[in-house]
Structure 1
Amino acid sequence: MSAGRQRAAECHTATPGSVSTSTGENMALTIRKILENVQSGTIRIPAFQRGFVWDAERVAYLMDSIYKGYPFGALILWRTKEKLVHERQLGPFQLPEVEPDYPIDYVLDGQQRLTSIFGVFQTELTAVEDAPWTGIYFDMSAEADLQESQFICPSSEDIDLARHFPIGTFFDVTAYRKATADLPADRAELIDKVQSVFKEATIPTQEVATEDRARVAIVFERVNRLGVELDTFQLLSAWTWSEDFDLQERIRGLAEDVAPHGFGDISQDTNLILRCCAAVVAEDASPAALMGLKGADVRARFDEIENGVKGAIDFLRKNLRVHRLINLPYSALLVPLAVFFATPGSKGVDVSTAQRESLERWFWKACFSRRFSAGVLRNLKRDIDEMISLRKNGASALDKIAASTDAEYFADQSFTIGTVHTKTLILLLANKDPKSFVSGAGVDLGPVLQAYNREEFHHLMPRSFLKKKGISTSDINSLANFAIISAQDNKRLGGVAPSVYKKKMDVGSVDAILEAALCPHSLFDDDFHTFIEARARTLADYANKKMA
């Protein structure tokens, strides 16, 4: 275990009513005890664990570490009186269906080590998947070396039983007797000593004894922080709500319902959906609230959750020109909105003008203040509470958050698809109902925002024109130099000075085009720095108006 994981595991102290952890010799398990506990069903693998990924070399090195007494990390076991509905097989082994003794120990950390030890030394189960790594041998001809491993996993054609001893026989009396029968006395004595080391070896363990699954989730997240992040969705799927309620299936159904509106990819962001679940049911989107959800409550209110997500998406599309989840500067914006629109049955929320304006101001303030870049859970909790108040009382302090922007926001930052400030600019421009820079006709934002690629957004002052004037790339790519201009229009206008391409624009629509693009007439003066300053001010003024 790494130092970070060791610290995370040791940070849980035994206090009344809390997670208890114990370490020390009395918590160590012998290899034989591990084999017995796994086969009896006492030690099990929860479904939220990943599969076995170690290769033969790592397994052989683990055996060498055990043999030489090197530290190799503790197992962290969650002791509970309740069996999980969904579990994972142990590496390539389908564990027998036995009624386990209670309590059960689920592996929170050390699954790779546990699977390696069990796979190498167990002799009762047949692997249901290819598992060549289980054939570990002790090289009797290898010199004892502190660094080099004396254990190998040779291919079948390279095995020399006069030199390679199968350590998988160490805990099977009959197999061990047969494997040592023809060994010379000196090698038989060597193998007896090696076997003795493994029979006496103990595997350190730490125990988390609790029935509080929220605490289990926190421990699992902390011990895995330096490795693979906690997959909350798998965790909750393992603690499935009931046999007749499939959370994954319901979420797939929700994604199918919103797919025609451009939000089908919401099913790929399972953590977002789960936050919406917790926010609606528990009025809190924190991991603790999520882990504390009761299956009956989620089943009873999932229609409400679906209504909330669908209502939020409908509001974002119609009022803020958000046509895909990827258009949102922060996906977390969907969570409080889902709470506002969450209603039972088929009746939706009747949104008053005052409520709509409050929701819109909150949205823009959250974007420009980078509200969900830090303090996410704290801000979500506050916004969820205010959303509930806004729906019930018609007014709240939802939009009473400090936020403003200035010209520097648009002048100093670069246009990069996928970043918060670029997404915010694109939505700001979309909300002005942009027009074609050639014909002056209104732009169909659906295809533009659903495609959401660089081809739909181009420089007002063309790059090739500015390069010739010696303008740096970072200045050329300033947010203030971009507008919603299709690839077709951009090609038609060409990479010439604005004063030149103006002649290709519909003469009667120029003023309307510029107004819809929040673009000052100084564009056609061909003075880049003067134009950028003016455009940045225009954008900032409009943004502050949306937040006012």
Structure 2
Amino acid sequence: MNLPEPKNLPYKTLLADIEKGLIKIPQFQREYVWSLERAANLIDSILKGYPIGTFITWKTKETLRVVKDLGNVSLPPVPDGDFAEYVLDGQQRLTSLFCALKGLTIKRGSKQDDFSKIYINLKATYEEQIVTIDISNLEEKSFISLTDLINASFITLSSYDPKFHTRLAEYQQTILGYNFSLIEVKEASIDVATEIFTRINVGGKPLSLFEIMVAKTYDSTQKFDLSEKYENLIKSLKKVEYDTISDATVLQIVSLLLSKECSRKHILHLNKNDFIAIWDKVVIAIEAAVDYFRSYYRIPVSKLLPYNSLLAPFAYFFYYHKDKPLEQKQKLLEDFFWRVSLGGRYSSAVESKLAQDIKKIDHILNEKLPVYDWSIDTSPEFIRKNGNFNAGRSYIKALLCILAYQRPVSFIDGAIVHISNNWLQRANSKNYHHFFPKAYLNKLNIFENQSNHIANITIVDDFLNKRKIGAKAPSEYMTTFQKQNSSLDDHMQTHLIHLNESGIFENDYELFITRRCNIFSQEISKRLLLTDNDTLDSQPLSIDEMDPEIENGGYVFTD
């Protein structure tokens, strides 16, 4: 890499290079947000000779995804074979200058800013604001628009009062002769260029890995735009309510398939053409994995997945296995899913663990049992100890997946309870119902540390929770439902509750929790290929393993 080189660009050269497509704003930059007033202040600084900062650009022949339009001006592509200078620092200032000096109109949402309405107050002194957007109190011919000043002929300027002539000429020459300071980083790699950008913008939002890869993989010839491709994937997944899968997970899947690693370093060094070539097959593998989660594990929405990252090993599997797994492969995959979910596997060091786990998937593809260096305690006692309800914890999500697998129905009429990402995102959701309501248990001096437990949770519809149950004792509201619903015994089975064996009509909370933990234990055991390492007296999960998955957020749901 060549050392950064300082240079000066005159006003005309700067504008000409932008208009020729030689100076570009990469798409990973944030949107243009400066107001008309702030742009006017920038011009004011130029007229007064104040420094406006240095622009930093990256000179390269790489083709990145860039801003194609500024207001009503379409910017041409970089000429074939030529270098482009991508703005790493100074986007807001550079865009403001271009818009103001060209008099463009910028549309942002429903609002339009007309940059031709920036004016020079010819009466203002050096100590006052010279450039303004408010001329309501200025006399006619005591101001001139910035664009008129730049483009005005001698005849136009002479039409102003002679007392302004010197000032008009001075202002015009100041702008036309202004040298903009620029530092050029020549022919560095994209990860170096984006590292420079990130360090410069240390006070702002750092670039995400996805934003860098959008820039790096853009290819106009192959019509590949990762941002658009990802949006299309999410639109497709939204139809089946799996649209909360992160862009980071998608990048990890591509990297695992191309290099069997998925760290930031490995993703940044993926070959652009290899990335583009594999994309369509990756999408098919992701969609196959999602379909498997929904159909075989009956996980209806992505917010219930214990980890977004689970999609990576499963997409890897379906990339190499085009059909649904049967018999041994099916059992091995299921065992893997529940070991990861119940074992807090991806609560830390996700990238290295994913790289390890695709080797396990390779074993499964060959119908061999992988070796696991962690065990699962299936005992009711372990569930009792570790069942504090927080719907962001992977362990709790795994148990919620077991509840969702039963396809729970309404206590009232057996109607299927709809589970959606939308209500799972709400911290005050009423769809998670404490079967023994917390308000009722409080009266018995059984407080949240005991009442807020996964074994006391059922998935119900909002209407049932709000209007029909409230803070009533289970014996009271279930007796009412028994009279209304002749199939209540069967319907409660979909909640893993045996109506007449769980102390419900005696309001026996201890018996209810004990029986339900036993049922959860049985359900977990059915899903695992238990080994001698899976003892019934394993240590409780560590604090790290019990933490909510950060990207999904942790929500405590209350009645």
Q: TM-score, normalised by structure 1?
A: 0.73
1:341 aligns with 2:318: yes
CA apart distance, 1:97: 6.8
1:496 aligns with 2:472: yes
Conservation of the 8 A alpha-carbon contact between 1:499 and 1:524: yes
Mapping for residues 143-162 of structure 1, pairs under 5 Å: 143-145=125-127, 149-154=129-134, 160=139, 162=141
CA apart distance, 1:84: 4.7
CA apart distance, 1:38: 1.7
CA shift digits 1:164-217 (9 cap, x unpaired): 243445654xx1634542455654434455455545644343433336344445
1:111 aligns with 2:84: no
Mapping for residues 368-447 of structure 1, pairs under 5 Å: 368=342, 370-392=344-366, 394-397=368-371, 399-401=372-374, 407-411=384-388, 413-414=389-390, 423-431=397-405, 447=418
Conservation of the 8 A alpha-carbon contact between 2:299 and 2:405: no
In structure 1, list runs of 5 or more residues that go unmatched.
Answer: 1-16
Which whole-Å CA distance do the structure 1 matches of 2:277 and 2:148 have between them? 54
Which residue does 1:265 correspond to in 2? 243
| Higher fraction of helix | 1
Aligned with 2:38 (options 39, 52, 58): 58
Which residue does 1:457 correspond to in 2? 432
CA apart distance, 1:57: 0.8
CA apart distance, 1:56: 0.8
1:305 aligns with 2:282: yes
Conservation of the 8 A alpha-carbon contact between 2:65 and 2:214: no
Which whole-Å CA distance do the structure 2 matches of 1:535 and 1:217 have between them? 56
Which whole-Å CA distance do the structure 1 matches of 2:48 and 2:515 have between them? 70
Which whole-Å CA distance do the structure 1 matches of 2:31 and 2:153 have between them? 30
SS of aligned partner of 2:320: coil
CA shift digits 1:350-397 (9 cap, x unpaired): 4552x4444334433443455444433333333344434542573434
Which residue does 1:482 correspond to in 2? 457
* Residue 330 to residue 209, structure 1, CA distance change in 2 (3 Å): farther
Structure 2: which amino acid aligns with 1:376? Answer: V
Conservation of the 8 A alpha-carbon contact between 2:399 and 2:520: no
Which residue does 1:14 correspond to in 2? none
Q: Return 239-248 or 31-40, whichever deviates more.
A: 239-248
Which residue does 1:11 correspond to in 2? none
CA shift digits 1:133-161 (9 cap, x unpaired): 2432232333444xx64321236x66645
1:41 aligns with 2:15: no
Which whole-Å CA distance do the structure 2 matches of 1:303 and 1:247 have between them? 11
Q: TM-score, normalised by structure 2?
A: 0.72
Aligned with 2:254 (options 274, 277, 280): 277
Which residue does 1:9 correspond to in 2? none
Which whole-Å CA distance do the structure 1 matches of 2:119 and 2:273 have between them? 52
* Residue 544 to residue 309, structure 1, CA distance change in 2 (3 Å): same
* Residue 395 to residue 78, structure 1, CA distance change in 2 (3 Å): farther
Which whole-Å CA distance do the structure 1 matches of 2:84 and 2:254 have between them? 29
Root-mean-square deviation (CA, aligned residues, Å) is 4.6
CA shift digits 1:230-289 (9 cap, x unpaired): 4639925971374466767766776677677x24636x8555444433333343444554
Q: Return 455-464 or 419-428, whichever deviates more.
A: 419-428
Conservation of the 8 A alpha-carbon contact between 2:56 and 2:185: yes
Structure 2: which amino acid aligns with 1:106? Answer: Y
Which whole-Å CA distance do the structure 2 matches of 1:400 and 1:229 have between them? 35
Which residue does 1:232 correspond to in 2? 211
Percent identity for Structure 1 against Structure 2:
24
Which whole-Å CA distance do the structure 1 matches of 2:317 and 2:508 have between them? 47
Conservation of the 8 A alpha-carbon contact between 1:241 and 1:299: no
Which residue does 1:516 correspond to in 2? 496
Which whole-Å CA distance do the structure 1 matches of 2:173 and 2:450 have between them? 72
1:208 aligns with 2:185: yes
SS of aligned partner of 1:135: coil
Number of residues paired by the alignment? 508
CA apart distance, 1:516: 1.9
Conservation of the 8 A alpha-carbon contact between 1:121 and 1:169: no
Which whole-Å CA distance do the structure 2 matches of 1:535 and 1:143 have between them? 84
In structure 2, list runs of 5 or more residues that go unmatched.
Answer: 529-533, 535-559
CA apart distance, 1:55: 1.6
1:526 aligns with 2:507: yes
Which whole-Å CA distance do the structure 2 matches of 1:81 and 1:291 have between them? 18
* Residue 385 to residue 86, structure 1, CA distance change in 2 (3 Å): farther
The answer to which structure, 1 or 2, has the higher relative contact order (CA under 8 A, 6+ apart) is: 2
* Residue 472 to residue 388, structure 1, CA distance change in 2 (3 Å): same
Mapping for residues 190-209 of structure 1, pairs under 5 Å: 190-195=167-172, 197-199=174-176, 201-209=178-186
Which whole-Å CA distance do the structure 2 matches of 1:432 and 1:500 have between them? 25
Which whole-Å CA distance do the structure 1 matches of 2:3 and 2:116 have between them? 31
Which residue does 1:137 correspond to in 2? 119
* Residue 523 to residue 89, structure 1, CA distance change in 2 (3 Å): same
* Residue 430 to residue 82, structure 1, CA distance change in 2 (3 Å): closer
Structure 1: which amino acid aligns with 2:435? Answer: L
SS of aligned partner of 2:34: coil
Which whole-Å CA distance do the structure 2 matches of 1:247 and 1:93 have between them? 25
